[in-house]
């Protein structure tokens, strides 16, 4: 018996199994703690985001009385935290003093001539394993947020610039969106009408986007420096639409995945208005304008091959539209108190290759390449006034254009960092015996800015106004063909130079109005 006890005490076999059993138990406990901790952190973020949004909603209806403020805060929290998870929402009116010398926690004081609302949301976070360790299955989370309406700030204006489709042609619009997203887009004219009629409040949109991205609501500097997926932005927009888009935003969100957008390229604020973005974004824009501006920025290096109808007189028509970046990182929309920044539309190039239906003097059909380069239109704040009536004056310089008959490398049409210089185009070549080359160039420009006024009614209605370029002739192609410089090379044929040039003029002149009719809707 003594000998057996000594052998048992010295036997080390099975020690690893004991250690593994103990370690496995500790690992299970650690895993349970990590899972519950992750759930707790996620719930804290959700409750804090709901409190932030509730405070912003409350302060927007501050002038309607305490009942309306509390109701707005309650509904916002309920909409952003599962109803069964909300214990209580407490809303307090008071005075907020934005003084950096005062401790952050002491800047809000209850009572007085209220200019701020404090919302405190309390909600239990579900625990899955904590009951084994702590003896309870929930941890109560309490988060607080304050939003203030500050007066006395200098007046600011928010305005945007962009080009719009002159008409909602489902075919051309779908081709443009397909090119910008890199996916197949097939929306009806009714779908586009829904997007035009859908107004998006930018303040609510940016706050909802911040919550979705995990950015603290109100931290617009960080939000605008964030690069996001256009598909994710459109999903947030779909949630705000509440079904009024008829499912269009959901379809666009799926095809826009992978298109990256930096929000600072979409919305900007000048250095003289650091608080302007917080006050200025409480305005609405059309969902159509917002979507196209975002996709132009994110998909701005793409080319769009437009399949336009081939009109009478032409055998073939190929059109390439390239939409480039906005120059100098110019945003689509800005909040500003002075003339900076100047905002610009995206640069555009349109390259057309047309082939005549009739042969020239029985020899061959004529190939006609045309390049139209549209430089950006520009706008800047000229002046604004709030008393006795609200008024904003914006200086606008409509788009400059240059049109040429000539050949370019199509691979470089979408490279907006490289200038395109068209070479004389070979309109016709027959077995090396007859060749016709030609070139033409027109530069059209509005040399200065012109004023555009928005009165109180325009501002209230968020009315879009259009400035048309005085220099852009309606008969662009017709004017171009009239300036055509033609070179004819003949080898051993008894056909006079004058006869061939005259025949070319007779063939091309009627096609000017035809091509103008095709391209004007695209240029519009």
Q: Average pLDDT, whole number, for the chain?
A: 77
| Listed ranges 84-88, 193-197, 480-484; the one with the highest mean pLDDT | 193-197
Q: Taking residues 202-229, what's their average pLDDT?
A: 81
Task: State yes or no: pLDDT of 82 exceeds 80.
Answer: no
In 61-155, which ranges are continuous DSSP H helix? 66-80, 130-133
Domain boundary among 144, 172, 203: 144
Q: Is 296 in the same domain as 390?
A: yes
Please indicate, yes or no, whether residues 306 and 364 belong to a single structural domain of this protein. yes
Same domain, 97 and 225: no
How many C-beta atoms lie closer than 10 Å to residue 7's C-beta?
Answer: 9
Stretch 408-436: mean pLDDT: 78
Q: Same structural domain for residues 133 and 194?
A: no
Bigger pLDDT: 362 vs 59: 59
| Residue at 460 is within a domain | yes
Whether 436 maps to a domain, the answer reads yes
33: domain range? Answer: 15-144
5 lies in a domain? no
Tell me: do 519 and 375 sit in the same domain.
Answer: yes
Residues 67 and 121 in one domain: yes
Residue 325 lies in a domain: yes
Q: How confident is the model at residue 118 (pLDDT cuts 50, 70, 90)?
A: very high
Range with the lowest mean pLDDT among 155-164, 344-353, 508-517?
155-164
Cβ burial 335-345 (10 Å sphere, 16+ → b, else e)? bbbbeebbbbb
Label residue 274 by pLDDT band (50, 70, 90). very low
Q: Would you say residue 257 has pLDDT above 60?
A: yes
Residue 151 lies in a domain: no
DSSP state string for 182-243: TS-----HHHHHHHHH-EEEHHHHHHHHHHHHTPPTT-HHHHHT-EEEHHHHHHHHHHHHTT
Q: What percent of the chain has pLDDT over 90?
A: 1
The answer to whether residues 133 and 202 belong to one domain is: no
Pair (368, 326) in one structural domain: yes
Clarify whether residues 408 and 512 are in a common domain: yes
What pLDDT, on a 0 to 100 scale, did the predictor assign at position 273?
Answer: 47
| SS3 call for 422 | coil
The residue-averaged pLDDT of 94-107 equals 83
> Quick one: 432 and 322 in the same domain?
yes
Q: Identify which has the larger pLDDT, 189 or 15.
A: 189
- Between 280 and 52, the more confident residue is 52
Q: How many domains does the chain have?
A: 2
Q: Is the pLDDT of residue 27 over 60?
A: yes
122 and 184 together in one domain: no
- Residue of 189, 410, 428 whose CA lies nearest to 303: 410
Q: Which residue has the higher pLDDT, 301 or 334?
A: 334
As a whole number, mean pLDDT of residues 151-168 equals: 65
In our burial notation (b when 16+ CB lie closer than 10 A, e otherwise), range 65-88 reads: eeeebbbbbbebbeebbeeeebee
- Phi/psi of residue 409, nearest 5 degrees: -75, 110
Residues 218-247 have a mean pLDDT of: 83
| Domain identity same for 356 and 230 | yes
Is the pLDDT reported for residue 206 higher than 70?
yes
| pLDDT exceeds 50 at position 415 | yes
Q: Read off the pLDDT band of 489 (50, 70, 90).
A: confident
């Amino acid at each position: 018996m003594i000998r057996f006890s000594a052998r048992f005490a010295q036997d080390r076999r099975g020690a690893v199994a004991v250690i593994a059993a103990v370690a496995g138990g500790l690992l299970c406990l650690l895993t349970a703690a990590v899972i519950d901790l992750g759930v707790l952190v996620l719930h804290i973020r959700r409750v804090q985001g709901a409190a932030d949004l509730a405070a912003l909603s409350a302060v927007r209806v501050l002038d309607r009385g305490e009942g309306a403020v509390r109701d707005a805060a309650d509904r916002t929290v309920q909409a952003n935290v599962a109803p069964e998870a909300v214990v209580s929402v407490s809303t307090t009116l008071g005075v907020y003093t934005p003084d950096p010398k005062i401790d952050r926690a002491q800047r809000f004081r209850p009572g007085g001539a209220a200019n701020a609302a404090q919302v405190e949301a309390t909600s239990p976070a579900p625990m899955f394993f904590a009951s084994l360790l702590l003896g309870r299955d929930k941890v109560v989370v309490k988060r607080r947020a304050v939003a203030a309406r500050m007066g006395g700030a200098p007046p600011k204006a928010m305005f945007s610039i962009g080009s719009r489709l002159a008409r909602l042609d489902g075919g051309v619009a779908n081709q443009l969106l397909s090119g910008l997203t890199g996916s197949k887009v097939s929306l009806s004219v009714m779908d586009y009408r829904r997007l035009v009629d859908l107004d998006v409040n930018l303040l609510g949109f940016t706050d909802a986007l911040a919550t979705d991205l995990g950015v603290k609501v109100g931290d617009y500097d960080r939000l605008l420096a964030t690069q996001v997926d256009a598909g994710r932005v459109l999903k947030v927009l779909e949630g705000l639409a509440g079904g009024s888009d008829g499912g269009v935003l959901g379809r666009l969100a799926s095809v826009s995945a992978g298109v990256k957008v930096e929000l600072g390229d979409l919305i900007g604020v000048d250095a003289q208005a650091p608080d302007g973005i917080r006050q200025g974004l409480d305005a609405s824009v059309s969902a159509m304008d917002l979507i196209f501006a975002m996709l132009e920025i994110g998909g701005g290096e793409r080319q769009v091959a437009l399949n336009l109808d081939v009109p009478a007189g032409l055998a073939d028509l190929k059109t390439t539209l390239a939409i480039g970046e906005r120059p100098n990182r110019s945003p689509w929309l800005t909040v500003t108190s002075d003339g900076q920044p100047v905002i610009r539309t995206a640069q555009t190039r349109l390259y057309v290759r047309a082939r005549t239906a009739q042969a020239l003097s029985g020899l061959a059909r004529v190939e006609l390449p045309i390049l139209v380069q549209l430089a950006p239109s520009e706008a800047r704040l000229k002046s604004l006034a709030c008393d006795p009536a609200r008024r904003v004056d914006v200086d606008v310089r409509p788009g400059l254009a240059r049109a040429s008959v000539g050949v370019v490398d199509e691979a470089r049409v979408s490279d907006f960092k490289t200038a395109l210089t068209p070479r004389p185009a070979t309109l016709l070549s027959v077995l090396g015996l007859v060749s016709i080359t030609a070139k033409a160039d027109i530069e059209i420009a509005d040399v200065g800015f012109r004023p555009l006024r928005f009165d109180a009614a325009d501002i209230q209605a968020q009315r879009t106004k259009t400035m048309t370029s005085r220099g852009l002739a309606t008969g662009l192609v017709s004017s171009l063909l009239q300036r055509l410089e033609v070179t004819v090379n003949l080898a051993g044929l008894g056909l006079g130079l004058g006869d061939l040039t005259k025949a070319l003029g007779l063939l091309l002149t009627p096609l000017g109005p035809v091509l103008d009719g095709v391209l004007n809707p695209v240029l519009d």
